[in-house]
């Protein structure tokens, strides 16, 4: 059945593809959270940054029907709890899929990004796809700068580790964006 403007945007996609479209932002956050060694406090800061970054898309991309459909309908604390639940769901999916190493995770993110971008290119206007790509990069960036890596109780360390820079560059390549196009 062809898509009409009165249908839900997710109806353009198979259930599997829609799941990947919706899960990819959380997988990017998880990948960046695990890219460096930020300790217990740093990990909590990175997870909080992921939640805030996901929800900030509401203001950053207000006219994007795809991103609006992915975000929780709720506001405030309820929206944060919904994003945390989606993050946990993505973690459970990765675990159930046997993805246990950073290498496996980033290989999965790259493969998923390719499939998602191909599906979006087929069904969405240019700005919708561009906004989605930029959103994924924002999430990666926001998580990577949320906590120092390699510090000892706040002493030393670096804000963005070499591993985080490598993961960000890997995501950028997977999204087929040149570094000059990021925000």
* Percentage above 70 pLDDT, the chain: 81
Q: Given this model, what pLDDT does residue 158 score?
A: 58
Q: Given this model, what pLDDT does residue 41 score?
A: 61
Has residue 58 been placed in a domain? yes
Has residue 157 been placed in a domain? yes
Q: Given this model, what pLDDT does residue 181 score?
A: 41
Per-residue pLDDT averaged across 103-122, rounded? 94
Has residue 4 been placed in a domain? no
Has residue 62 been placed in a domain? yes
- Contact residues for 107 (Cβ-Cβ < 8 A; gap 6+): none
Per-residue pLDDT averaged across 65-77, rounded? 91
Has residue 183 been placed in a domain? no
- Rg, C-alpha atoms of the chain: 16
pLDDT-based confidence at residue 25 (cuts at 50, 70, 90): very high
Kindly tell me if the per-residue pLDDT of 146 is higher than 80: no
Has residue 8 been placed in a domain? no
Domain of residue 105: give its range.
13-176
pLDDT-based confidence at residue 131 (cuts at 50, 70, 90): very high
Kindly tell me if the per-residue pLDDT of 183 is higher than 70: no
Q: Are 23 and 88 in contact (CB under 8 A)?
A: no
Higher pLDDT, 96 or 177: 96
Helical H segments across 145-181, by residue range:
162-174
Per-residue pLDDT averaged across 35-48, rounded? 71
Counted domains in the chain: 1
Kindly tell me if the per-residue pLDDT of 180 is higher than 80: no
Tally: H helices and E strands in the chain: 7, 0
Region of poorest pLDDT, from 14-18, 43-47, 81-85:
43-47
In Å, how far from its chain's centre is CA 29? 5
Has residue 5 been placed in a domain? no
What is the reported pTM? 0.83
Has residue 3 been placed in a domain? no
């Amino acid at each position: 059945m062809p898509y009409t403007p009165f249908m839900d945007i997710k109806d353009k996609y198979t259930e599997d593809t829609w799941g990947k479209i919706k899960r990819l932002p959380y997988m990017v956050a998880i990948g960046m959270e695990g890219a460096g060694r930020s300790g217990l406090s740093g990990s909590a800061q990175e997870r909080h940054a992921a939640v805030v970054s996901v929800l900030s898309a509401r203001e950053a991309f207000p006219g994007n029907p795809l991103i609006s459909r992915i975000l929780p309908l709720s506001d405030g604390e309820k929206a944060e709890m919904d994003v945390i639940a989606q993050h946990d769901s993505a973690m459970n999916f990765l675990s159930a899929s046997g993805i246990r190493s950073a290498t496996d995770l980033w290989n999965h993110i790259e493969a998923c990004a390719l499939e998602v971008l191909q599906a979006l290119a087929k069904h969405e206007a240019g700005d919708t796809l561009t906004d989605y790509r930029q959103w994924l990069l924002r999430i990666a960036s926001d998580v990577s700068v949320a906590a120092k890596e390699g510090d000892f109780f706040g002493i030393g360390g670096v804000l963005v580790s070499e591993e985080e820079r490598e993961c960000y560059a890997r995501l950028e390549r997977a999204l087929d964006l040149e570094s000059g196009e990021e925000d």
